[in-house]
């Protein structure tokens, strides 16, 4: 051994120093790759957690906004404004059947006593609750998480003030909203074998089931870990910490619902390092083999590792810039280790899922869920832009505002569920009568809009007459119910851009003109078409 370490000949010394140089180079490469890959793995895990949290935050915030809007819409019902309690109870029960997230609704009078309640007996005093005083000041509110003793059901209470026909405060509506939707979405998130996503309220009590807690209802105690303490002071750190189960994890968080709920995502450090350790064993074995090879062989082998990592890193940067759905060519990983090939496949799979999810979110923001037509938001954001493009190209354009005649009587006589089906029925007629450059949308309530991008006043009025006849010819028929329908239509046309016009969206001006014509159509007997400026031949 001593003789080996002290070679006497140049040949022996050269072999020894080449062997030591390759060994040291191999060790250096392995150490450097270990550090870089460990850092990148941890950073990638945190990025994935952050991306998932951002996506779910968007969903939960939207969910809260929709439930608040549901409550406000209920306060606009005539039964609520006139305090028709039997009808109010019927509406409440129908609403809880239709809107599965609500478990119960109740009406509280101005004295703080429940008079209508779909869950329990009436006569309960609630005038000491914060929601009562907030409603008395004209404010909507949302409670902390409540676990009902009888059913063990986890709910939150939304409250909204109510007003009578004269606009005087008459009490408030309380809506018990189940957290099953949020629990299902948060529970469906996955990040590796140990990835964990859970939701806490502002004091740290679990709202959804963490991975290692069997039953939230049996463990209502607050969770206090490094991540909750960081969240309390808005601190950001990439350091690992011990979670509620004592495991060392990396985590990320986001406050949502007006800083009242805390969404946390965690992944085990042990899991992140598991693939790293296996990969390092491969590197060490390659290093030992290369003791018999040249230095160039070492460079080639390391390059085969570095190149796939560069593509993965490039792909994450592209997705970070918003190009969801970016695809890495698997041919790049053809000669890479199996772990990196699997990583490439998983990356492409997650990229496709992310693109699909973002697309669904974008579509849900622009499509009316009841009629599957464009909604008002889409028309106001994109309709004016498309209108200007058509006018700049020299095409005349027209707008039709369509109102279902006596629709309130349909709701009053047959109920809101039938009313919704009537809206879908009329929307179907519009879809069949329009297409191409004619955009049909639900403008609000029982009112629809058609934006014809290449039709002048004469052609658009003909289309309006056709729609009138089609609706009248196709009454709503289902389950033995037959409802004759008619519509009133107001139209307005525009044949070109006016220089020096007021800096207001042109579509808004056309809507205003069409609304005037619609008013005349209703005033002159309904089931007719009126035009604001009178159709004339377009040049």
**Catalytic residue IDs:** 446
Query: SS3 of 476, please?
Result: strand
Query: SS3 of 54, please?
Result: helix
Among the listed residues 209, 190, 189, the one whose alpha carbon sits nearest the alpha carbon of residue 199: 209
Among the listed residues 303, 340, 438, the one whose alpha carbon sits nearest the alpha carbon of residue 383: 438
Q: Are strands 248-256 and 241-242 parallel, antiparallel or unpaired?
A: antiparallel
- Rounded distance, CA 47 to CA 190, Å? 14
SS (H, E, C) 132-176: HHHHHCCCCEECCCEECCCCCCEEEEEEEEEECCCCCEEEEEEEE
Query: SS3 of 124, please?
Result: coil
To the nearest 10 degrees (0 to 180), the angle between helices 10-75 and 180-188 is 170
Contacts with 269 (C-beta within 8 Å, 6 or more apart), sequence order: 42, 240, 248, 249, 250
To the nearest 10 degrees (0 to 180), the angle between helices 85-98 and 10-75 is 160
- Fill in the DSSP letter of residue 291: G
70: Cα within 13 Å, side-chain hemisphere: 23
Question: What is the chain's length?
Answer: 539
- Fill in the DSSP letter of residue 261: E
The region, left, alpha or beta by phi > 0 then psi within -120 to 50, assigned to residue 171 is left
Q: Positive or negative, the Cα torsion across 222, 224, 230, 232?
A: positive
476 contacts 483 by C-beta, under 8 angstroms = yes
CA 450-456-459 angle, to 5 degrees, is: 80
Among the listed residues 130, 53, 65, the one whose alpha carbon sits nearest the alpha carbon of residue 101: 65
């Amino acid at each position: 051994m001593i003789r080996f370490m002290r070679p006497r000949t140049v040949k022996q010394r050269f072999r020894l120093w080449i062997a030591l140089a390759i060994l040291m180079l191999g060790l250096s490469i392995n150490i450097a790759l270990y550090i870089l890959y460990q850092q990148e793995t941890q950073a990638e895990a945190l990025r994935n957690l952050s991306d998932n949290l951002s996506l779910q935050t968007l969903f939960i915030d939207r969910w809260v906004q929709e439930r608040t809007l549901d409550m406000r819409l209920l306060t606009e019902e005539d039964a609520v404004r006139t305090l028709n309690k039997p009808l109010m109870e019927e509406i409440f029960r129908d609403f809880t059947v239709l809107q599965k997230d609500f478990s119960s609704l109740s009406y509280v009078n101005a004295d703080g006593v429940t008079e209508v309640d779909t869950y329990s007996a009436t006569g309960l005093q609630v005038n000491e609750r914060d929601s009562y005083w907030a409603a008395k000041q004209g404010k909507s509110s949302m409670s902390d998480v409540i676990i009902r003793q009888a059913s063990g059901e986890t709910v939150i209470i939304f409250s909204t003030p109510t007003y009578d026909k004269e606009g005087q405060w008459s009490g408030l509506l309380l809506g018990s909203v189940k957290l099953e939707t949020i629990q299902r979405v948060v529970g469906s998130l996955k990040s590796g074998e140990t990835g964990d996503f859970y939701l806490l309220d502002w004091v740290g009590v679990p709202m959804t089931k963490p991975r290692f807690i069997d039953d939230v209802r049996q463990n209502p105690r607050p969770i206090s870990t490094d991540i909750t303490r960081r969240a309390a002071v808005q601190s950001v750190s990439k350091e690992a910490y011990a979670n509620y189960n004592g495991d060392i994890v990396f985590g990320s968080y986001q406050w949502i619902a007006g800083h009242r709920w805390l969404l946390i995502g965690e992944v085990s450090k042990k899991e992140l390092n598991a693939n790293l350790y296996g990969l390092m064993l491969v590197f060490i074995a390659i290093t030992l083999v290369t003791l018999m090879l040249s230095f160039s062989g070492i460079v080639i082998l390391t390059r085969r590792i570095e190149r796939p990592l560069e593509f993965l890193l490039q792909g994450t940067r592209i997705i970070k810039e918003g190009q969801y759905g970016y695809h890495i060519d698997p041919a790049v990983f053809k000669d890479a280790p199996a772990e990196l090939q699997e990583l490439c496949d998983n990356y492409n799979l997650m990229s496709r899922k992310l693109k699909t999810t973002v697309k669904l979110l974008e579509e849900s923001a622009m499509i009316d869920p009841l009629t599957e037509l464009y909604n008002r938001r889409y028309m106001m954001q994109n309709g004016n832009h498309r209108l200007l493009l058509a006018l700049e190209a020299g095409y005349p354009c027209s707008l039709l505002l369509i109102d279902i005649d006596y629709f309130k009587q349909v709701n009053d006589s047959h109920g809101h569920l039938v009313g919704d089906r009537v809206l879908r029925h009329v929307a179907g007629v519009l879809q069949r009568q329009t297409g191409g450059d004619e955009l049909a949308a639900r403008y609000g309530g029982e009112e629809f809009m058609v934006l014809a991008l290449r039709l002048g006043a004469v052609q658009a009025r003909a289309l309006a007459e056709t729609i009138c006849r089609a609706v009248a010819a196709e009454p709503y028929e289902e389950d033995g119910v037959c409802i004759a329908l008619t519509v009133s239509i107001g139209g307005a046309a525009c044949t070109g851009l006016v220089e020096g016009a007021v800096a207001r969206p042109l579509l808004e001006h056309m809507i205003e003109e069409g609304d005037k014509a619609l008013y005349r159509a209703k005033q002159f007997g309904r089931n007719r078409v009126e035009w604001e400026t009178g159709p004339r031949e377009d040049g």
